[in-house]
Amino acid sequence: MDASLVVMALCAVLVYWYLKLHFAVFERNGIPGPKPVILLGNIIEILQKGQLQAIKDWRKTYGNYFGYFEGFTPVISISDPAAVKEILVKDFANFQARKPFPLAPRKSLGLFLENGDQWRRSRSILSPAFSTSKLRQMTGVMEQQVDKLLLNLGTQQAKGSNFDIYRQFQSLTLDVIGRCAFGLHTNAQMDVADDFLNKIQSLFRNMSTTVILPLVMLFPFLQYFIFALKNIVLAIGMNPVSWLRRQLVEVIRIRREIGNDGSVTDLMQQMLFHSNKHQKMTDREIVAQSLTFLLAGYETTSAVLAFHCHVLAQNPEAQIRLRKEIKQLGQERIGYQSVQKLPYLDMVFDEVCRLYPTASLIVTRQAAAARTYGHVYIPAGMNVQVDVWGLHHDEKFWNEPQKFIPERFSPENKSQIQPYTFMPFGAGPRNCIGSRFAMLETKIAVARIIKDYELKPTHDSQNDLALLCRGAIVPKDGVHVKLVQTRNAKFG
């Protein structure tokens, strides 16, 4: 036999043996889960059902601890509160890193995907931008942009027809994060042709429909070829990310020329003029961080607002109670101070976030060393996904978990909730840095809407929204409602 054929046959055997070994990691370690197919893993079921539905189905079959393959990548899904506490908080030193994202750039990842010393440095620089004093200063911008939202909603209400309120919120959240964090003068709410809005919407549409992500899940080595191709595409400006980066580079240039103006206290100022010279970020890092916050602030908060409107339209009695609470503020403008006086709004917010945790699929970690917590064994190097959706909808922790019951989060009941069964913003040192910003923006907008309008479901509204997973979980087909103006409605 030809020697080359022998070598090829031997290589084929070795590759097959390696793949068998790789895809048997859960079986070897006694971890239950769906049986993977060599090379494909469980990607077919994920693509057919969507990742969220696949995980929900697997949890029903295998319990709160199981392993599956995102193509080639093994992942353990965990929704055991005791183990979640160990992973996210108590043993954080072993789980500092996030699960790698297949299409993440190899440099300048932004806070969400950074690990180790790079993550710690970025977190320490960025955290002061979301302090209580900074949030108070941002409230004025939020209020001004919600004014514009109410004008647009008034136009929709005057037409008397159903409309997708999710699209209105996408424009709102882009204007808010753009102005509060970077001083970007986007005008998405007043101009449907706003370049920032169109580029960001194009980017998220591409994320939902691209075949590149499944390919890289199956064959991780392809990312190097894709990065090379992406760099060519970026160079000739055919990618929305290229356009967004160019705009942020221009903002950095202008802000450097203006200098360290003490009256400006936004995120961009924090990154450009950090007091510790040894912690200053490069322009490349600032662009990466800015792009991360811009996209996250746009996507997640608009989805949370849309989920609020969907749930409240389905529950008119909750609207009545919330409106009554808001009316008790009298003529006080709805802002930072006044939303602190609305306990039922807090309860509604928490319950909507329990029902629709937008970050359910992105609370991930990677084990540096093997660990065993009770019956949960996690091998070294294993990717871990905390199943937030499973925790939020588990009958062991919540009575009638599919029902909207804000009273679960009343002061007397909230203290009885088992720790690490409710975490819409993650938990531990890597929890969402912008959670208070998102909560404040959402509560101001919801309070203003409910004060002035009744939300009515449309004739084709359904209790169960179709959901789309593209990092965050968002309404797949929008949230369609009808508005009815309340009596004596005035701006808050």
Predicted confidence at residue 99, as pLDDT, reads 85
- Residue (of 481, 456, 442) closest to 346 by Cα position: 442
Q: How far apart are CA 105 and CA 123, in angstroms?
A: 19
Three-state secondary-structure class, residue 68: strand
Give dist(CA 376, CA 387) in Å, integer: 14
How far apart CA 282 and CA 286 sit, in angstroms, is 6
Sign of CA dihedral 104, 105, 106, 108: negative
Helix runs in 160-315, H state only: 165-177, 195-209, 212-218, 222-235, 240-258, 267-272, 283-314
pLDDT at position 247 is: 86
Which range (204-218, 267-281, 427-441, 473-487) has the least confidence? Answer: 204-218
Are 184 and 195 a contacting pair, CB within 8 Å?
A: no
> Using an 8 Å Cβ cutoff, are 186 and 197 in contact?
yes
* C-beta separation of 142 from 440 below 8 A: yes
Domain 72-485: which topology?
Cytochrome p450 (1.10.630)
| Residue 489 in this model has a pLDDT that exceeds 50 | no
Query: Alpha-carbon distance 237 to 215, whole Å?
Result: 24
DSSP 423-444: -BTB-STTS-TTHHHHHHHHHH
What SS3 class is residue 184? Answer: coil
The stretch 448-475 carries a mean pLDDT of: 86
Pairing outcome for strands 371-373 and 453-457:
unpaired
The confidence score (pLDDT) of residue 245 equals: 84
Q: What is the mean pLDDT of residues 280-302?
A: 87
Predicted confidence band of residue 236 (pLDDT cuts 50, 70, 90): very low
Share the mean pLDDT of the chain.
87
Would you say how long the chain is, in residues?
Answer: 492
pLDDT band (50, 70, 90) for residue 258: confident
Cα(151)–Cα(293) distance, integer angstroms: 27
Three-class DSSP category at 484: strand
pLDDT beyond 90 at 75: yes
- Rounded to whole angstroms, the Cα distance separating 301 from 296 reads 8
Average pLDDT rounded to a whole number, residues 137-153: 94
- How many whole angstroms separate alpha carbon 109 and alpha carbon 92? 21
**pLDDT tens per residue across span 82-133:** 999 999 999 999 999 988 776 555 555 688 888 888 899 889 988 988 889 9
Query: DSSP 3-state assignment of 115?
Result: coil
Chain segment 1-38, per-residue pLDDT in tens: 577 787 778 887 788 888 889 999 999 999 999 999 98
Q: Residue 315 pLDDT > 90, yes or no? A: yes
Closest by CA to 267, choosing from 433, 40, 67, is 433
Q: Which pLDDT belongs to residue 90?
A: 96
pLDDT in the model for residue 210: 56
pLDDT value of residue 166 = 95
- Beta bridge partners of residue 77, listed in sequence order: 66, 385
Q: Is 488 left (phi over 0), alpha (psi -120 to 50) or beta?
A: left
| Greatest extent of the chain over all pairs of C-alpha atoms, in Å | 92
In 3D space, the residue among 413, 419, 422 whose CA is nearest the CA of residue 392 turns out to be 422
Find, among 201, 202, 174, 203, the residue nearest to 190 by Cα: 174
Give the integer Cα–Cα distance in Å for 172 and 166: 10
Give the tens place of pLDDT for each residue, 356-410. 999 888 899 999 999 999 888 999 999 999 999 999 999 999 999 999 999 999 9
CB under 8 Å to 353, separation ≥6 — which residues?
Answer: 304, 424
Task: State yes or no: pLDDT of 223 exceeds 60.
Answer: no
Instruction: Please check the confidence at residue 322 and state whether its pLDDT lies above 90.
Output: yes
| Residue 202 vs residue 467, higher pLDDT | 467
Q: Name the pLDDT band for 283 (thresholds 50, 70, 90).
A: confident
Of 209 and 11, which is predicted with more confidence?
A: 11
pLDDT of residue 208: 56
Q: Please report, rounded to a whole number, the percentage of residues in the chain having pLDDT higher than 90.
A: 53
Q: Round to whole Å and give the CA distance between 115 and 458.
A: 45
Cβ burial, residue 330 (10 Å; 0-12/13-18/19+): exposed
pLDDT digits (tens, 9 = 90+) for 33-63: 999 998 889 999 998 998 999 999 999 999 9
pLDDT category at 181 given cuts 50, 70, 90 is: confident
**Of 323, 328, 302, 318, which Cα lies nearest the Cα of 351?**
318
Residue 490 has pLDDT above 50, yes or no: no
Is the pLDDT at 296 greater than 80, yes or no? Answer: yes
Q: Let me know: does 259 contact 309? Beta carbons within 8 Å.
A: no
123, two tokens? 């977190």
Residue 320: pLDDT above 80?
yes
Are the beta carbons of 217 and 39 closer than 8 angstroms?
Answer: no
Distance CA 290, CA 394 (A): 36
The top-scoring range by mean pLDDT among 227-236, 280-289, 355-364, 389-398 is 389-398
Sorting pLDDT into bands at 50, 70 and 90, what band is 412?
A: very high
Instruction: For residue 231, give every residue at least 6 positions away whose Cβ sits within 8 Å of its Cβ, in sequence order, or none.
Output: none
Residue identified by tokens 């994060």 is: 177
Residue 451 has pLDDT above 70, yes or no: yes
Which residues have CB under 8 Å from 447's CB, separation 6+? Answer: 322, 326, 334, 338, 339, 342, 345, 492
